[in-house]
């Protein structure tokens, strides 16, 4: 993925962080953060495939060399699907997720994306608040979408 906006420096109360495109140098750290955060994490192999796929938009945020956040998404024609995003607990509520989404929206628009979709657990109030804040609206519910606990997913869309 080419992105002329990146790398981009962002000031936070905990110091500057920077945003850049995810590469194979990041995949192990990204999968470790995924595994720490989610009950059913994506495998290393999946991250490798995402990084190699030219239709994906994968971003990382770092403080120095330390990974503090990532976002993965894929474009199919004019639709973009967010797979996942995580910010490490010590760097939450600093606007990092909002900035990652802003970069995703601009990059998607540059590539002809018109709609961004995602699924989120109905119990994930912080993520739902974040998505609403940046303009996503609820499209519907997928019953029992998450196999680990049979939880429903809220499908959300943002029109770019
Ligand atoms: C959801 C998550 C990515 C948010 O990351 P973040 O960097 O802390 O979010 P931001 O600082 O950019 O927050 C932007 C807005 O989102 C909303 N928000 C974020 N965290 C929130 C929380 N814990 N409670 C309520 N609203 C929250 C707020 O509206 C916030 O704006 P504000 O700080 O001005 O009130 C982070 O909590 C996380 O990694 N959670 C675990 C993984 C996860 O659930 N990922 C999403 C899977 S679909």
- Residue to mutate (ligand 1; options 130, 148, 155; most atoms within 8 A of CB): 130
pLDDT reported for residue 5: 81
Judged against a pLDDT cut of 80, whether residue 31 lies above it is answered with yes
Report the nearest-CA residue for atom 48 of ligand 1: 120
CATH code where residue 129 lies: 3.40.630.30
Task: Tell me, yes or no, whether 2 lies in a domain.
Answer: no
Beta bridge partners of 63: 66
pTM of this prediction?
0.97
Ligand 1 centroid to Cα of residue 97, in Å, is 7
Whether residue 95 has its Cβ less than 6 Å from ligand 1 = yes
Q: Rounded to whole angstroms, how far apart are CA atoms 90 and 17? A: 13
pLDDT at 90: 98
How many whole angstroms separate alpha carbon 98 and alpha carbon 92?
11
Residue 48 domain-assigned (yes or no): yes
Give the per-residue pLDDT at 2. Answer: 59
State residue 24 phi and psi, 5-degree precision: -65, -15
Q: Across residues 127-143, what is the average pLDDT?
A: 98
Residue 36 belongs to some domain of the structure: yes
Residue 37 domain boundaries: 8-159
Number of domains present in the structure of the chain: 1
* C-beta 36 within 6 A of ligand 1: no
What average pLDDT does the chain have? 96
For 138, the token pair is 């609820």
Sequence-ordered alpha helix ranges (H) in the chain: 27-37, 44-52, 96-110, 125-133
Q: Is pLDDT at 20 greater than 80 in this prediction?
A: yes
- Ligand 1 pocket member 124 (CB < 6 A): yes
pLDDT above 70 (res 1): no
In a domain, 3, yes or no: no
Atom of ligand 1 nearest to the CA of 38: 42
Q: Give the model confidence (pLDDT) of 74-108 as tens digits.
A: 999 999 999 999 999 999 999 999 999 999 999 99
């Amino acid at each position: 993925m080419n992105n002329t906006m990146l790398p981009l420096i962002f000031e936070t109360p905990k110091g500057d962080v920077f945003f850049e495109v995810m590469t194979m140098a990041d995949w192990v750290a990204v999968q470790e953060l995924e595994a720490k955060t989610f009950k059913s994490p994506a495998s290393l192999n999946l991250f490798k495939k995402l990084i190699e796929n030219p239709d994906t938009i994968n971003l990382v945020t770092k403080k120095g060399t330390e990974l503090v956040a990532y976002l993965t998404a894929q474009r199919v024609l004019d639709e973009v699907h967010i797979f996942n995003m995580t910010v490490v607990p010590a760097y939450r509520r600093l606007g990092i997720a909002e900035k990652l989404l802003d970069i995703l929206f601009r990059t998607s628009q540059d590539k002809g994306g018109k709609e961004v979709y995602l699924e989120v657990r109905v119990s994930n109030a912080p993520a739902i608040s974040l998505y609403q804040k940046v303009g996503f609206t609820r499209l519907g519910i997928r019953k029992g979408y998450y196999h680990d606990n049979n939880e429903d997913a809220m499908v959300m869309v943002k029109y770019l």
